[in-house]
Structure 1
Amino acid sequence: MRLLVLRCDAPHITDFSSYPSPVELYDLPAIPSRKDLKVLDDAAFDVLPHDPTPSLDEIAKQPDVEHLGAPKPAPQRPETRLRIVVIGTDAALSAVLTRLMRADNMWAEIGFVPIGPSTAAKNWGLPADTAQAVCLALLGAVNPVPLIRDDAAVAVAGSATVTSWESGELTGEVIVDDHVQIRHEAAKKPPRRGIYGARMVPMVDAPGIAAVTMDTPLPGEVPSRGVFPRPSGSVVPSSFATGRAMQAGGPGLRIRVDGVSRKRPVDRVTFYRHLRDLQIVRP
């Protein structure tokens, strides 16, 4: 197995002795750029110069996309496995997954060692102890999960939120598959408990997306519990929903993926399950 370890602003992690062979170690910024991650393109090409499996376009044209059921191991079988261990935040992992996804190299195995609070680590049940997390990332088995992305081709590692660009309640609509999660017009004066947006996390199984309504502004990100007053005409059928896709529309939306905001407000956004699954190392 070829093993790349990407330390994203984590030089204090130095013990990789649990792996029997030397690792390829790269020190990168906290959120690596496309240029920083060129090493991934090179390693993937070295290991699998030609992918004999159906392309994404060919998969999308299939009448029954079986791959959108339970997540499965990647169909690619290179002679030498490629494992990429990311040490850093959820934002760092998102950057790595985004680079692999855009290059269609999601067959690579991914290990993750979280630095600081991590929604992704909680979702996947990764060890809280750093030494144990390193050992699992280096030696553990792959257990695939759905890969969730947005319409700007950014992969979600731990979570994403849709809120108003300015502080205050959300004006707009959020739909998960065919379920109306939110239909709301913001109050002129932000209430203590209101409708501030939606938070989405990737699931470990089909259909892929779990979404909750945020009834407090960021950084609270607290899902709705119980009943609270809302203006006439607002629709919040349920504070929790699952599906393959989440769409949102409204004036001046702020989109954050793993804590990183888009540079400009948008009027609509879609999150959906990618056609390739994430080959993540987890219990």
Structure 2
Amino acid sequence: MRGLVLACGPDTPELPEVEGVRVERLPARPGKTDVDPLLTDDAAAHLVVVGTDADFAAVVLRLLRRDRLADTTVGYVPTERSSAVAALWGLPGDPRHALALALGGEVDPVPLIRDDAGGVLVGRGVLGPVRGVAYCDDEVALRGLARRIEVEPDPHSAGGGPGLVVRVSRGLLFRRQITYTGRAVQLGCVPVTPVSDGVPYPRPMSRWTWYKHTEPLRLVRGLA
């Protein structure tokens, strides 16, 4: 067994030693100078990210920027019980079980979501409260005020299909939620701060788009 484990942030759990697997300790939400030098290693053809959804997204972004999505498999060991990625793709909550799956499981390509500001979304994106107009592909998903808009990769399109699911929540007293699926969601609105995988964008935006990338993320999530 060969691979490279990226343990992100100071709170990652102690990991068991596995023959042929190297562990690199990185800061939370590692960037270009942290990740890119490691991607030249042969072991980087199989990565395991240990950390939060934001850490996972940061590593996936570097794979995208280095054009390594097609030749890199990625396992994920979530360190937060609230991980949207783990809930979406059925990953174990126990770190030891998650690590065993990430190192020895089968690849099941899943949709990778991008935004028009150069980022990626691997778990959940949130906007709101928001007032504006939103389209999911050609369908009007919002015209007016919404308490919250959530966007996630569509778990039912892992083998193909549109790619993302949009949930629009309206109303304060009588809350109702409408769900859409499509390739992209586009929003024009009174400025609002998008939150991707728990990380707020640095400034409010009056326009925002999340869309399915042309290549999937080669995620390890199936039992071998």
1:112 equivalent in alignment to 2:76: yes
Deviation at 1:39, TM superposition (A): 2.8
Counterpart residue number, 2:202: 263
Q: Which has more radius of gyration? A: 1
Specify the alignment match of 2:5 in structure 1: 5
Deviation of 1:216 after TM superposition, in Å, equals 7.9
- AA aligned to 2:6 is L
Partner of 2:178: 239
Could you tell me which runs of 5 or more consecutive residues in structure 2 were left unpaired when the two chains were aligned.
none
Provide closer, same or farther for how the CA distance between residues 40 and 276 of structure 1 changes in structure 2, counting only shifts above 3 A: farther
Give CA-to-partner distance per residue, 1:248-277, whole Å, 9 cap, x none: 111212111101111111111111111111
The 3-state SS of whatever aligns with 2:34 is coil
Separation of aligned partners in 1, 2:127 and 2:17: 38
Amino acid in the other structure paired with 1:200? V
Instruction: Give the conservation status (yes or no) of the 8 Å contact 1:197–1:215.
Output: yes
SS in 2 for 1:171: strand
**Mean Cα displacement is larger for which, 5-14 or 89-98?**
5-14
CA–CA separation in structure 2 for the residues paired with 1:4 and 1:26:
7
CA distance in 2, matches of 1:214, 1:13: 40
Contact 2:38-2:44 at 8 Å conserved across structures: no
Cα deviation code 1:37-96 (max 9, x no counterpart):
1234323xxx5xxxxxxxxxxxxxxxxxxxxxxxxxxxxxxxx88110000000000101
2-structure distance, mates of 1:203, 1:105: 22
Contact 1:87-1:114 within 8 A present in 2 as well: yes
After TM superposition, the score normalised by the length of structure 1 is: 0.71
Q: Residues 4 and 48 of structure 2 are in contact (CA less than 8 Å); yes or no, is this contact kept in structure 1?
A: yes
1:35 match: secondary structure: helix
The 5 Å alignment of 1:78-157 reads: 82-107=45-70, 108-116=72-80, 117-157=82-122
Residue among 179, 199, 212 paired with 2:150: 199
1:212 aligned to 2:167? Answer: yes
In structure 1, stretches of 5+ residues that fail to align are 48-79, 164-168, 186-194, 218-223, 227-237
Work out whether 1:174 is the aligned partner of 2:134. yes
Write out the 4+ residue segments of structure 1 that deviate beyond 6 Å after TM superposition: none
> Hey, what does 1:39 align to over in structure 2?
37
**What percentage of residue pairs aligned between the two structures are identical?**
36
**RMSD in angstroms over aligned alpha carbons?**
2.1
